[in-house]
Amino acid sequence: MLLVGHAAWAYVISRSLASVLNVKINPYLVMLLGMVPDADILLQEYIKHRSVTHSMLFWGIVFIPFFIAYRKRSIPYFMAVVQHIMLGDVIVASTNLIWPWRYEIGMGYSALSPLNMAMESIGLGLALLLTIKYDRFIITRNRCNILGLVVILPLLGSMLYLFTANGLLFLDHIIGSNISAKNMIRGSNDMMFVAMILHVSFSILLSISILQGMYALIARIH
């Protein structure tokens, strides 16, 4: 799954859980956590893509202190990370769920396959509906909306690397020979267009949110 889908589904699942558990969440933080496992793409010199940062075992250990300190309030944030592995990465190619032990699972689809594009579109649509219902402050003047920067920056990076020829070469280089970036994002021009629309739509929403946050901050200063 592309970053737009990871972020959108992280919000959808975390927001739904937060409502059931009757706890509050930071929507920007859960979106960021939904993308965090793919940070290993930028750390290819040190760790293999879809290894430690895509391990359920690793994240289970990382969240132990948060489970102890924050109890049920930490569950939506944990699920924001876990959905990246269990949903997005099971659809696209395959992933090692319990690294360092080998247990790979995956459907083997491309990130630009019709199935994955449908899942990303559904995720973004649901995220928009839940935003309107639960987190309408995202599109109002609120200083907290400046935090949208932590989501839009990796999203713009994804657009840069996925939709330019140099980006494809860059991804293929940093991911290495074990997983070809070109194979993972292979697809028709139509699917590439859909992916671009999803990224642009999400970026516009986040840009509006960030601008609203900046307006609120400036108004408070003056």
Q: What is the pLDDT of residue 169?
A: 44
Place of tokens 């989501």: 151
* Confidence (pLDDT) at 208: 92
Global pTM reads 0.87
* Residue 19, helix vs strand vs coil: helix
The predicted-structure confidence for 156-200, as pLDDT tens digits, reads as follows: 888 877 766 444 444 444 444 444 445 555 555 678 888 889 999
Give the distance from CA 115 to its chain's centroid. Answer: 17
Q: Does residue 62 sit in helix, strand or coil? A: helix
In the chain, which stretches have pLDDT less than 70?
163-189, 222
**Looking at residue 220, what is its pLDDT?**
83
Angle at 156 between CA 151 and CA 160, to 5 degrees: 155
- State the angle between helix axes of 3-21 and 189-221 in degrees (0 to 180), rounded to the nearest 10: 60
Q: Output the pLDDT for position 5.
A: 94
Reference 18, options 64, 78, 83, 63; nearest CA is 78
Cα-based distances in Å from 130 to 73, 127, 134, 135, 220: 19, 5, 6, 7, 28
**SS3 sequence of 134-149:** HCHHHHCCCHHHHHHH
Rounded to whole angstroms, how far apart are CA atoms 40 and 45? Answer: 9
User: Helix axis angle, 3-21 relative to 27-35, nearest 10°?
Assistant: 130
Q: What's 71's DSSP letter?
A: G
